[in-house]
Structures are given as C-alpha cells and as structure tokens.
Structure 1
Amino acid sequence: MRHLLTDTNFRRLFTGRLVTNAGDSLYYVAAMWLVWELTHDPFYSGVAGFLTMGPSALQFLFGPLVDRWPLRRVLIGTQAFQAVLVLAIPLAAYTGHLSVWVVLAVMPLLALANQLVYPAQSAALPRIVDQADLVDANSAFSLAYQGVDLVFNAAAGAVVALAGAVALYAVDSLTFVAAALLFAGVHIPVAADEQPTAGTDGAGDPPADVAATDGGESSADDDAATGTVDDATTGTAPDGYLADLRAGLTVLRGSFLVLVLAGAAVVNFASGATMASLPAFADTVGGAGAYGTLMAGFAAGNLGGALVASRLDHLPFGKLNVAVFAVNGTLVAAAAVAATAGAPLLVVVALFALAFIPVGVGNVLLSSVVQAAVPESKLGRVSSLVGSASQFAIPFGTLAGGAVAGAFGPVAAIYVLAGAALLLAAYWLAVPALRTLPPVGDIDTLD
C-alpha cells in the first residue's frame, strides 16, 4: 500500500479524501446533535437522518454526469459549494434565526452534493492505479474514511460538548476549502476502455471528445473552460443522459450485484434505524461526548476491517461474506444486551467496534469487486446505481428508528440491526450465486 503514496495523483486524491471525510464527520455529528439539542425528540433525529441519507437513493441520477463531466471539476465544484452552504448555520445563529427547520433545510442540500463526490472518486481511482493495486487503493480509501471518522467523530463530540455544535460548522467550511485545493492538483487520465487505437488520431493521442464523454481530461477540458461548444457541453443532453443511465442498468441487470444489493437493503434499513436512535441513547449515558464516542466506535471497527482487508482478498468472496454478517449480527446483539443491562458505555462501544471489523472488510472488498467487474467507462454510472440501490433503505430506516426509539426506547433499534445482520448471513449462505463467488481477483468483467 505504501508504494501507492509515491504516486502524486493518488497521493493528492487520497489526501483530498481524508480532508473531505474529516469535514463530513464534523458536519454529521454537529448536525445530528444540534437537531437533538433543539428538539429533544428522537422523531426529529429520524427526520434529520432521512434528509441526510435520502439523497443517497438518488445517486444513480448523478452517475451518467460523473462519466461525462471532467472528474477533477466535479470534485472541486462540490467542495466549493459545500464550503459556502455549511456557513448558513453559523450565520443563522449569529442573526438569531437558528431553528431546527434551518438545520433540516441545509442537510439534504449538502447530502445531494456528496452524491457527485463519491462516485467521482470511485471512477477516478481505477484510472490512476493499476488493477492489481485496486484492493490496496480501496483499503487506503476506506482507511481514510474510517480512520478520519474514528478521530473526528470523537473530536466532534468533545468540541460540541465544550463549544457547541454551531462552532463545528465554521471549522467544517475550512475543510471543504482545503479539499478543493487538493483536488485541483489531481490529473485524471481518460478511461482505458475508451482509449482510441493507435493511429486513430494521427499521432495516437486521444481525440478531444473522448475525455469529454467519460470524465477524463484532455483538450476538451480546456475548451470547456474558455466557452468552446463541444461534447463537454452537449453530451449531457437528455437523450444521451438517459442512454448512459440505461447502459449502467444493462451492466447490472442479471448480474450477481443485483442479488448483493437485494440483501443489503434489509440490513441498511436496520442500520439507519440504529443511527437515528443513537443521539437519544447517548443523551442517557453522557451527552454529546458519549455520542461522539459511540460514532467513533463504529468507525474504529470499520477501520480495523479496512486494515486487514487486503490480506483476505484471496478468500472466496461469497463464503467470506457469510462469516462477515454472522459475526457482525452476533456482536451487535451482544452490544444490545450490554446496553439493556446497563453496562458501562465503553463496554458497549467496544462491542460495537468489534462488530464492525468484519463489515469493514466486506465494504473494501465489495468496492474492489465492483471496480474489477465493471468496464471503466461505465464505472461512474454503475457505482452510483450500486450506491443508490444499497443506500435507498437507510433513510426510511432512520424514520422508522426515530419512531421506534420514541415508542420503545433507543436500544430497541440495536436489536433490530442484530437480527437483520444474521438474516443477511443466512441469505448469502442460501443463495448459490452469492455463496460461490470466487476471490476478488477472479471476478470476471461484466459485459
């Protein structure tokens, strides 16, 4: 993994990912706690979760745009937009107009911007690293995501406890500015499966319109900057957009990825319910600091899984996932029992952290499976379809979790998550097309 950091493009993209994730962590903890602080009602926590997670179900709509627009500009533009928007909360507080409705209005707009960021990063990664390095690269990205969450979730909880949630929004704006500057230095080549054959363009260089249609960089990128009308601007016409969307669906249709997503919907619903109940649970055991600690526990488990994922990529992916979800469900159930019994907060956090180590492994390997199985020129739209399909149940889970926490207490949603994970393990075991999936390196490219 260390050799990847010697590549300037990867290093800048990776560092930008670190800073972006830091901003997301600060924002999420601040927003969810601010909603709870303003209302003390778990129902509103559920609504906040729905508005934050809901746009992820629309990610598939952004995939064709990611494949057509210059990826570097997508990354820079989204960070700049978020840097400005997040300042609405400190401004509202300063002018005396802060309310839960202002916070709820900002949340989905920031989340919508992120639906471009992560597919763009996923589409860029196979273009700047060799396929043999994809698992290591995805492990590094997952480490960035979970490692930053581990540190900044805990730090955010501490800052909220000391200075209040509004202060975090101002800091968050600076992280988005820093990420935009880092992404500005990344060069993303044309997709390999869109490269013209030798002699196509005289000297063998890719013609300008290739980069414009698949998100790479070429002279079309420069033309777009000066206002020249070419495929960079006309390629997003409705007919072309819908054709790209259909092409992504065609890749997925009938593949094993559809079965993967069907099972993920159930456990993601339960995960959303758990996330919505955590502010109410944390308030009973220690307040904002406890909330940050719980969120850090989730991140610690995923981080541990990301650390070991590259050492497990030789194992059959199907059987590994059976073990992943069985262990996760068992340990989440243990955490729920501990919480019900009044165990110390650190015991509950430790059980959560252990429960999500196998999930961290599975997430890294699944990203590598998608990148290995999908042609590069379609990766943006397919990644966004996969993201939407796997995430669409989470916002509805958060709404249900808020209602369940209000009616039965916040621990009830944790029991639901445990049961869903165990059901998912049984599902992977029962479906031959999933159970028999080979190691990541042996996955064939989909047509």
Structure 2
Amino acid sequence: MNRQLTILLIGRIITNFADSFYMIATIWYVKSLTGSPFLIGLTSAVAILPVTIQFLYGPVIDRFSKKTILYAAMFGQGALISVISILYYSNILWLPVLFLMMFMALSLSESTYPTESALIERLAPKEKLTKVNAFFSFSYQTLDIICDAVSGILIAFVGLGVIYMTNSVLLVMTGLMFLVYLKVPKSEKESQVSALGFFKQYKEDFKEGFGVVRSKRKLLSIMFGVMGINLMATMGLAMLPVISDTSAEYGFWLTAISVGTLTGTLLSSRVEKIPLNRILPIVAVWSGVFWLLAFTFRGAWFLPYLFFAFSWAGIGILSIYIQTMIQVNLPRNHVGIGFAFISSLLGSLSPLGFFLGGVIGELTSGIFLLSISGTGYLLFSIYFLVNPKLRTLDGPLNVGFEESA
C-alpha cells in the first residue's frame, strides 16, 4: 500500500478502537444503571441511527475536501466524548443527554466511512480493491478482537470515565494526524467551480447521485436482501448484553464476532473469483446455520462462542463483498454519494431492529430472540436464488455486473 493509504488505515484503526470502547462502555453503563432490556435495545438503536442519515453526507463528500471532512469529524467526535466523560465524573450524566451526545458523536463518525471508501477507490487500483478492502478490515478487526476481549475487564478495573476520556484524546490525535499528514488527490467535482450557492449545488448533486444509485437495479436488489438480514440480526444482537451475566461474558460474545469477521475478511480475497450467484447464497447459509447452532448449544462452555465466530466468518465475507460491489459498480465520481446512499439504505432498518429487539426481549427472552434472528441469513440465500436478476450474476466480484449485464 502507498503512504496515503497507510495513513488512512492508521486513522481507521484508531477510530475503530475508540468507537468500540465507548460504545461497549455506554451499553454496559445503561445495563448497570437500569437493567432494562428495552433501554439496552434503545441504546443500540440510538447508536445505529446515524447510519440511516449517511445519504445526507453524500453530496458534501463528492464536492468538498475529503481530508477536511475526516479531521473535522475526528475533532468534533473527540469534543463530544470529552463532554460525556465530564458529565460522568460530575455524576450528572442523564440518559437522554447521553443518548443525544452519543448520536451526535456517531453521526460524525459515520461521515468518515463513505469518505474513506471513496478515497480507497481513488487511491487503490481497481483490480486490487478487494484485497485493499480486505486488508483494511483485517487490520482494524484484529484490533477489535483485542478491544472486545479486554473491554469487560477494563470497564471493571479502570472505570467508564477513564474509557471515555482516553477515547476523546485518541480521536483528537487522529484528527491532528489527518490534518498534518494526509494528502489526497482532488476529485473532478472538487476541482469544479460551482456558480450555484451551497444549498442549490447540494440539491443538484443530491438529485444526480440519487439518480445514479436508482439506476443500479441489480445492486439494489442485493442491498434490499441485506436490509432484511440486518433487521433480523440486529433484533438478536440487542439481546447479547441481556443474556450476559457479566461485562466479561459480553466481551466474549463481541470477541467471537470480531474473530469471525476477521477470519471472513482473510478468506474474502481467496473466494473472490467464485461467481456471485454461487458464493453469496453459500456464505449466507453458512452464517445462518452456525448462528442457530450457537444459541442451540448455549450451555456447552466454549462451543457457542466458537459457533458464533463461524457464523461471523461468513458475515465478514458478505461485508467485504458488499463494500467492493458498491465501489466496482458505481461511477468513480459518484462513489462517495453512492456509498452514502446505499449505506443509509442498508442501515435504515437496523435502528428498528434494535428497538424491536428490546421490546420483544421484554415480552419473551433474549435467547429466544437470538435463536430466530439467525434465520435471516437462510432467508437471504433463498431470496438470492429465486430473484431472476440475481440468478444471472455469474461473474466474479471485481467485474461490474451493472456494466456487463
């Protein structure tokens, strides 16, 4: 990788590190304070809600300096987490205020994902996109494993306040690194001088980007299936803190997710030549079966965590495939806005999933909900096989199927 991709990667790793810790800390704070499955689900819903507004960032990402977007988002996020830590130490951290601050901080964080994806597409050769995406995911997922494994222990020994404050410092340092060292080429739209005002130009770019995304019928067909997966999976994931007796046990479930995702990331470049209409249904079935096994054998010591990691290996492959398909099938000058639109689409039902998980968890049980949520992956494989648009995708991942169809 070149120097600029390396700087981008380091920033992504640090940001993931900070996001993981303060998210886990916040969820465990709500559980410790209330013990309510509903409020735990609501916390996760608030945390995922910023994903649904990514489409608003799209015109800004394609039109303005991506470097400025990245360091401004880091500085803003660091400032907001600092406020949370101050309120926590002052014993006046009211839950509605915590939710608001967390939503604002994660909204800034979400603006960096489509920005970085657009930069990766610009800085990496097209034939190496899958490997570069996989390398990015591999690197920060490796760190996520460490974060998830020790998060429960750190919460117990150093306290929530220290975690919040440390993360705010890390985010500000990342912003400084982007400000001083990151140098990226301007896109065609950045170089253009617009005669329109900001809001008129924003509206024009928004309409243009929306039209580009809407024209990608096969890509959208896949994304609609993934939306269904996300809805069912998030309903179950909202219950992981509920079924965990200690913060360490919760950390074990998160570690299984990270280990599995990391494994899938490593495998993704090995299977990228297999036709999409074969590999995607197979991976979905794999994920669904092992998800169900994890909660069928929950009392069998380490076996549930192992099965859950196997499930997330398949999910990790799906994640890399989704990201690469977006990059390959969108025009270069619309990758930023296209990625933002599609990310919002994919995440649109996730807040509802977490919210419903909390509501249904109050009425039933966390294990019941987790046991049925994995069926979403089995349903996705059926959807892929019966959809006439998707059955014809017999090319490998790095071939733009919208262009070749």
Instruction: State the TM bucket, normalised to the shorter chain.
Output: over 0.9
| Structure 1 residue 252, shift from structure 2 partner | 2.0
- Answer yes or no: is 1:188 the counterpart of 2:184: yes
Of the candidates 398, 401, 404, which is equivalent to residue 441 of structure 1?
398
Q: Which amino acid aligns with 2:287?
A: N
Q: Normalising by the residue count of structure 2, what TM-score does the alignment of the two structures yield?
A: 0.95
The whole-number CA distance in structure 2 between the counterparts of 1:349 and 1:103 is 31
Q: Deviations over 1:94-136 (max 9, x none)?
A: 2221232332222211121122110100011111111111111
| Residues 328 and 355 in structure 1, CA contact (< 8 A), matched pair in contact too | yes
Of the candidates 205, 210, 217, which is equivalent to residue 249 of structure 1?
210
| Runs (5+) with no aligned partner, structure 2 | none
The higher radius of gyration belongs to: 1
- 2:351 maps to 395
- Answer yes or no: is 1:426 the counterpart of 2:385: no
**Matched position secondary structure for 2:239:** helix
Of the candidates 234, 253, 269, which is equivalent to residue 272 of structure 1?
234
- 1:325 maps to 284
Q: Deviations over 1:216-265 (max 9, x none)?
A: xxxxxxxxxxxxxx65xx76622221221222222222421111121111
| Structure 1 residue 300, shift from structure 2 partner | 0.9
- 1:111 maps to 106
Of the candidates 16, 19, 25, which is equivalent to residue 24 of structure 1?
19
Taking only the aligned residue pairs, the percentage that are identical comes to: 25
Of the candidates 14, 38, 42, which is equivalent to residue 43 of structure 1?
38
The whole-number CA distance in structure 2 between the counterparts of 1:188 and 1:439 is 30
| Residues 328 and 399 in structure 2, CA contact (< 8 A), matched pair in contact too | no
| Structure 1 residue 444, shift from structure 2 partner | 4.4
- Answer yes or no: is 1:12 the counterpart of 2:11: no
| Residues 117 and 339 in structure 2, CA contact (< 8 A), matched pair in contact too | yes
- Answer yes or no: is 1:131 the counterpart of 2:126: yes
Q: Which amino acid aligns with 2:186?
A: V
- Answer yes or no: is 1:306 the counterpart of 2:265: yes
Aligned residues: 401
| Residues 38 and 100 in structure 1, CA contact (< 8 A), matched pair in contact too | no
| Residues 54 and 340 in structure 2, CA contact (< 8 A), matched pair in contact too | yes
Q: Which amino acid aligns with 2:184?
A: I
Q: Deviations over 1:394-440 (max 9, x none)?
A: 10000011112222111122122211111111101111322332211
| Residues 374 and 446 in structure 1, CA contact (< 8 A), matched pair in contact too | no
Q: Deviations over 1:286-328 (max 9, x none)?
A: x111111111111111110001111111111222110111111
**Matched position secondary structure for 2:297:** helix
**Matched position secondary structure for 2:92:** coil
Q: Indicate how the Cα distance of structure 1 residues 398 and 23 shifts in structure 2: closer, same or farther if over 3 A, else same.
A: same
- Answer yes or no: is 1:363 the counterpart of 2:319: yes
| Structure 1 residue 275, shift from structure 2 partner | 2.1
The whole-number CA distance in structure 2 between the counterparts of 1:145 and 1:27 is 16
| Structure 1 residue 181, shift from structure 2 partner | 2.7
| Structure 1 residue 330, shift from structure 2 partner | 0.5
The whole-number CA distance in structure 1 between the counterparts of 2:33 and 2:385 is 45
Of the candidates 397, 408, 429, which is equivalent to residue 364 of structure 2?
408
The whole-number CA distance in structure 1 between the counterparts of 2:276 and 2:297 is 31
Q: Indicate how the Cα distance of structure 1 residues 392 and 72 shifts in structure 2: closer, same or farther if over 3 A, else same.
A: same
The whole-number CA distance in structure 1 between the counterparts of 2:110 and 2:17 is 17
Of the candidates 341, 354, 372, which is equivalent to residue 385 of structure 1?
341
| Residues 89 and 161 in structure 2, CA contact (< 8 A), matched pair in contact too | no
- Answer yes or no: is 1:334 the counterpart of 2:330: no
Q: Normalising by the residue count of structure 1, what TM-score does the alignment of the two structures yield?
A: 0.86
Question: Quick check: 52-61 or 250-259, which moved more?
Answer: 250-259
| Residues 301 and 357 in structure 1, CA contact (< 8 A), matched pair in contact too | yes
Q: Which amino acid aligns with 2:90?
A: T
The whole-number CA distance in structure 2 between the counterparts of 1:9 and 1:386 is 26
Q: Deviations over 1:196-218 (max 9, x none)?
A: xxxxxxxxxxxxxx5345xxxxx
| Structure 1 residue 178, shift from structure 2 partner | 2.6
Q: Which amino acid aligns with 1:410?
A: G
Q: Deviations over 1:364-416 (max 9, x none)?
A: 12211111111111111100011000111110000011112222111122122
| Residues 209 and 334 in structure 2, CA contact (< 8 A), matched pair in contact too | yes
- 1:351 maps to 307
| Structure 1 residue 145, shift from structure 2 partner | 3.5
| Runs (5+) with no aligned partner, structure 1 | 195-209, 214-229
The whole-number CA distance in structure 1 between the counterparts of 2:98 and 2:321 is 35
Question: Quick check: 270-279 or 10-19, which moved more?
Answer: 270-279
The whole-number CA distance in structure 1 between the counterparts of 2:314 and 2:92 is 44
The whole-number CA distance in structure 2 between the counterparts of 1:444 and 1:274 is 33
Q: How does 1:225-240 map to 2 (within 5 A)?
A: 231=194, 237-240=198-201
- 1:89 maps to 84
**Matched position secondary structure for 2:398:** helix
Q: CA RMSD in A?
A: 1.7
Question: Quick check: 79-88 or 426-435, which moved more?
Answer: 426-435
The whole-number CA distance in structure 1 between the counterparts of 2:111 and 2:305 is 32
